[in-house]
Amino acid sequence: MHNDIKEVLITREQIQDKVVELGQRLSEEYAGRNPLVICILKGAFIFMADLVKEISVPLELDFMAVSSYGASTKSSGEVKIVKDLDTSVEGRDVLIVEDIIDSGLTLSYLIDVLERRKVNSVKIVTLFDKPAGRTVDLEADMSGFVIPDEFIVGYGLDYAEKYRNLPYIGVLKPEVYNS
Ligand SMILES: O=P(O)(O)OC[C@H]1O[C@H](OP(=O)(O)OP(=O)(O)O)[C@H](O)[C@@H]1O
Ligand code: HPA
Ligand SMILES: [Mg+2]
């Protein structure tokens, strides 16, 4: 285990099993359709790569980079689109792939942006959901794990751009972000 990690909250195997299950559920949900699957970078990059391999319907991919945390464990409240989509979403069935919903600010902002661009439908799949962090009314259509009110890292999620490559979900030692 990495020296900065206090505890492993979710193992690599638990994540793998959950991703397979979510992929199967999404394959049923989108049967007969051709969704545009949008990865919210950077955090969702590993989840996206693993998830789409488990979805059996034809689909297209696009990427959007959004940032609001920087080197903090609290949202700045200002959601910045760092990279926009390449594809038109007008009339498309959009599936947003997110790593975590915490305050809900990132996704409530993005849903608004996508609806103004006249999507046919938009749904959210998130691997992690932290309901205790919520400051706006926003729920995923599908979620993997409900997590406690702790700042988590690994499997794509960072603190100050570090720890994204850990294959499990860990809780940081408080001295790491208090120093
Ligand atoms: O529900 P919220 O409170 O808005 O938090 C969730 C968002 O915060 C993180 O992104 P971040 O801004 O850290 O960018 P990153 O994905 O590049 O790490 C995470 O990847 C989600 O996109
Ligand atoms: O708990 C978290 N960990 C990493 N990034 C995050 N962005 C929102 N919440 C979190
Ligand atoms: Mg981050």
pLDDT for 46-104, tens place per residue?
Answer: 999 999 999 999 999 999 999 998 888 888 888 999 999 999 999 999 999 999 999 99
pLDDT for 133-176, tens place per residue?
Answer: 999 999 999 999 999 999 999 999 999 999 999 999 999 998 99
Q: How far apart are the first and last CA of the chain?
A: 21
CATH architecture of 5-69+82-161: 3-Layer(aba) Sandwich (3.40)
ipTM of the complex model: 0.98
- The verdict on pTM exceeding 0.80 is yes
65 CA to middle of ligand 2, Å?
15
- Ligand 1: which of 41, 47, 66, 98 to mutate, most ligand atoms within 8 Å of CB? 66
Q: In the sheet where 142-146 sits, what is the strand order?
A: 80-83, 60-67, 36-41, 93-101, 121-129, 142-146
Residue ranges per structural domain of the chain: 5-69+82-161
Pocket of ligand 2 (CB under 6 A): 69, 100, 102, 151-153, 157
